[in-house]
Amino acid sequence: MMNKRYLVALDQGTTSSRAVVFTLEGHMVASAAQEFPQHYPQPGWVEHDPADILSTQIESLRAAVRKADINPAEIAAIGITNQRETTFIWDRETGVCLHNAIVWQCRRTAPIVDDLIAKGFGPMIREKTGLVADAYFSGTKLKWLLDEMNVRHRAKKGEICFGTVDSFLAWHLVEGHPHVTDATNAGRTMLFNLHTQEWDDELLRMLDIPKEMLPQVIDTAQVIGDLREDLLGVKIPVAALVGDQHAALFGQACFRQGDVKNTYGTGCFMLMNAGEEFRLSKSGLLTTMAWRLNGKPTYAFEGSVFMGGATIQWLRDEMHMISTAAESEAVAASVGDTGGVYLVPAFTGLGAPYWNMYTRGTLVGMTRGTGRAHIVRAALESIAYQSRDLFASMARDCGIDSMALRVDGGASANQLLMQFQADLLNVPVQRPAVLETTALGAALLAGLAVGIYSDLQETASGWHVADTFAPHMDETTRQEKIHGWRRAVDAALHWAEER
Round to whole Å and give the CA distance between 376 and 363. 11
| pLDDT tens readout for residues 476-489 | 999 999 999 999 99
pLDDT given for residue 189 in this prediction? 97
Distance CA 22, CA 130 (A): 34
* Residue-wise pLDDT tens digits, 243-296: 999 999 999 999 988 899 998 888 888 999 989 999 998 888 899 999 999 999
Where do the domains of the chain lie, and which CATH numbers do they carry? 6-244 (3.30.420.40), 253-432+464-499 (3.30.420.40)
**pLDDT in the model for residue 498:** 61
Cα–Cα distance measured from residue 86 to residue 80, given in angstroms and rounded to the nearest whole number:
15
Please count the CA atoms within 13 angstroms of the CA of 61 that sit on its side-chain side.
28
- Tens of each residue's pLDDT in the chain, 499 residues: 668 899 999 999 988 999 999 999 999 999 999 999 999 999 889 999 999 999 999 999 999 999 999 999 999 999 999 999 999 999 999 999 999 999 998 989 999 999 999 999 999 999 999 998 989 899 999 999 999 999 999 999 999 999 999 999 999 999 999 999 999 999 999 999 999 999 999 999 999 999 999 999 999 999 999 999 999 999 999 999 999 999 999 999 999 888 999 988 888 889 999 899 999 988 888 999 999 999 999 999 998 888 888 899 999 999 999 999 889 999 999 999 999 999 999 988 887 788 787 888 999 999 999 999 999 999 999 999 999 999 988 888 877 677 889 998 888 989 999 999 999 999 999 999 888 899 999 999 999 999 999 999 899 887 889 999 999 999 999 999 999 999 999 999 988 676 5
Q: What are the C-alpha distances in Å from 399 to residues 272, 281, 296, 393?
A: 12, 11, 24, 10
* Cβ-Cβ contacts under 8 Å for 158 (sequence gap 6 or more): 92, 212, 213
List helix spans (H) across 274-341: 309-317, 327-333
**CA–CA dist 27, 183 (Å, integer):** 27
On whether the CB atoms of residues 169 and 81 are closer than 8 A, the answer is no
pTM: 0.86
pLDDT for 305: 86
What pLDDT shows up at residue 268?
A: 87
CA angle 301, 303, 304 (to 5 degrees): 145
CB burial of 63-78 (b: ≥16 within 10 Å; e: otherwise) equals bbbeebebebeebbbb
Identify the pLDDT of residue 322. Answer: 93
Compute the distance between CA of residue 308 and CA of residue 264 in angstroms, rounded to an integer. Answer: 6
